[in-house]
Amino acid sequence: MQLKNCNWCGKVFAHPSDTVCQDCRRQEEEDFEKVFNFLRNQKNATIEMVHEETNVEKRRIIKFIRQGRLLTDSGEPFEIFVECESCGDPIQEGRFCEKCSKSIRQELERPVKKEAAREKEPPKRELKKSGQMYTANRRNKKRD
């Protein structure tokens, strides 16, 4: 197993896939419970309000929102928003709004479509190679 530094506290730990140590993971889950319970009672709270009332770091609250973990009992997201990382529109989960996600997908698919179109083109005619050197053929002709 590879040693890593925790993304939150910097402590060295070993885990094959996690990016935070066990202590920070435990603290993160406690913070999640605080935020979730606060939002249950204050459905229209802002990130600032949640931070002030729960003492949970703003970046951790934003992480919970982006992960889509803050859902009501009916499975709908709470009315708490973060900004789309591309255009700044308010969103309730993820990193990008639907419009920006669609645009990014199209940008990423463009090279794939170009490659597929290139594969459909007829192959270019290649020169046949005999596998012999020209100078060797020429030398043999002179001897005859």
* Angle CA 51–57–63, to nearest 5: 105
The whole-number mean pLDDT for each consecutive block of 10 residues of the chain, a chain of 144 residues, reads 85 86 93 94 90 94 91 83 92 92 90 70 61 57 58
- Global confidence as pTM: 0.68
Backbone angles phi, psi at 139, to 5 degrees: -65, -40
The Cα–Cα gap between 20 and 6 comes to 4
Residue for token digits 């939002």?
A: 39
The Cα–Cα gap between 75 and 72 comes to 5
pLDDT at 137 (0 to 100)? 58
Whether the CB-CB separation of 19 and 25 falls below 8 Å is answered with no
pLDDT at 3 (0 to 100)? 87
pLDDT at 43 (0 to 100)? 80
Whether the CB-CB separation of 28 and 60 falls below 8 Å is answered with yes
95-116 core/surface letters (b: 16 or more CB in 10 A; e: else): ebbeebeeeeeeeeeeeeeeee
The Cα–Cα gap between 131 and 4 comes to 55
Delimit the domains of the chain by residue range.
Answer: 21-118
pLDDT at 124 (0 to 100)? 63
The full DSSP string for 74-113 is TSPBPS--EE-TTT--EESSSSS-HHHHHHHHHHHHHHHH
